[in-house]
Amino acid sequence: MFADKNVGAGKPVSVSGISISGLDAGNYNLTNMTAITTASISRRDLHVSATGVNRIYDGTTAATVTLSTDNVTGDIVSPSYVSAAFADRNIGIGKTVSVSGITISGSDASNYTLTNSTATTTAIITARPIAVKADDKSKTLGAGDPPLTYAVTSGTLGAGDAWTGAVTRDAGETVGSYGIRQGTLTVSDGNSGNNYAIGFSGGTFQILYAGSGTCAGDAGHVILQPINTDGTSVFKQGSTVPAKFRVCDANGKSIGQSGVVRTFVSTDIAGTATGVNETIVSTTPDTAFRWDSTGQQWIFNISTKNLSPNHTYIYVITLDDGSTITFRFGLK
């Protein structure tokens, strides 16, 4: 056996346990059971193989691999590399990865001749997840749309990529809620946006009545005379109380289309601080709000015959855009 396992020329070889056999062995006297000679150990060829590591798209061609060798079991040989790269940066299965600058190190590396400094393998690039939420928007009826915007709620874009296109909303110009959709929003990535798995959360676009301001020459979105907006009106019990209001678009036009009033409810609280301070109105009571085209207003003649005196009554009008008009009056 050699004194050690390492490569070298003229290395001593120790031989032990020498014996002889054969038909004529008995005619000989063996003078030695050991011997010493020399021999050479040459380097063993070593091949390094690469295995690609799958990753998520990041906008680059950078790759990662793990290396393995066919070294003798037990030898300490460590392979390394300088660079690894995909052929292109786009997503795909079984994409070629080129590895260069392969070297070996370790206490037994000198016993090997590295047969390759490059290697080729494959790996997968999967789509990059990114989440986007459309911002909720609103406008006043009759006004132009505000810009539709969005926010990235998780994830980032890869190197060199940018957002392109725009979110859109469902068509419609009447009061109500409309969905905000992804529209043409995507990522400019040189691959038609396919390098990304975009998780889009839609928003809500609301068209509302004007919440204040002048409406057909009077205050909009509040109760009108003869009921005071500050709740100080007191009517004679049994009389009819005209509840009137207007709601307008962005141009001050009073809106009288069907369905403006969604609900109309009332509650009452005990006690009225003052005496009657409003003129008695004699008119036919209504059972629901109706549009008065002459006055360009909504009106409900409230009968108080079945209401109790010395109480203050609170009413809430809920409109079809979800907004409310609250008013109160007392009875004596």
pLDDT above 80 for 52: yes
Mean pLDDT of the chain: 94
Please say whether the beta carbons of 77 and 46 come within 8 A: yes
- What residues does CATH 2.60.40 cover in the chain? 214-331
Residue 63 contacts residue 82 (beta carbons within 8 Å): no
Bridge partners of 311? Answer: 270, 331
Task: Kindly report the CATH class assigned to 131-208.
Answer: alpha beta
User: What would the pLDDT profile of 86-106 be if each residue is shown by its tens digit?
Assistant: 999 999 999 999 999 999 999
Separation between Cα atoms, residue 2 and residue 151, nearest integer Å = 72
Report pLDDT for 271: 76
Question: How far is it, in rounded angstroms, from Cα 295 to Cα 51?
Answer: 82
Segments of the chain assigned to CATH 3.10.430: 131-208
Q: Give pLDDT tens digits for 254-266.
A: 999 999 999 999 9
Q: What is the pLDDT of residue 68?
A: 98
pLDDT of residue 268: 76
- Mean pLDDT, rounded, for 309-315: 93
Supply the pLDDT for residue 283: 75
Matching residue, tokens 């001749």: 113
Contact assessment for residue 78 and residue 44, using Cβ atoms and an 8 Å cutoff = no
Which amino acid does the sequence have at 67?
L
Tell me if 64 sits within 8 A of 85, measured CB to CB: no
| Mean pLDDT of the 272-296 span | 80
Best CATH choice for the domain 214-331 from the list 2.60.40, 3.30.1360, 1.10.357, 3.30.70? 2.60.40
User: pLDDT band at 282, cuts 50/70/90?
Assistant: low
The number of helices, as runs of H, and strands, as runs of E, in the chain is 0, 31
Given a cut of 90, whether residue 284 has pLDDT beyond it is: no
From residue 219, alpha-carbon distances to 19, 77, 138, 142, 269 in Å are 124, 88, 22, 18, 27
For residue 90, what pLDDT is reported?
98
User: What digits encode the pLDDT tens for the residues 197-230?
Assistant: 999 999 999 999 999 999 988 999 999 999 999 9
Model-level pTM? 0.79
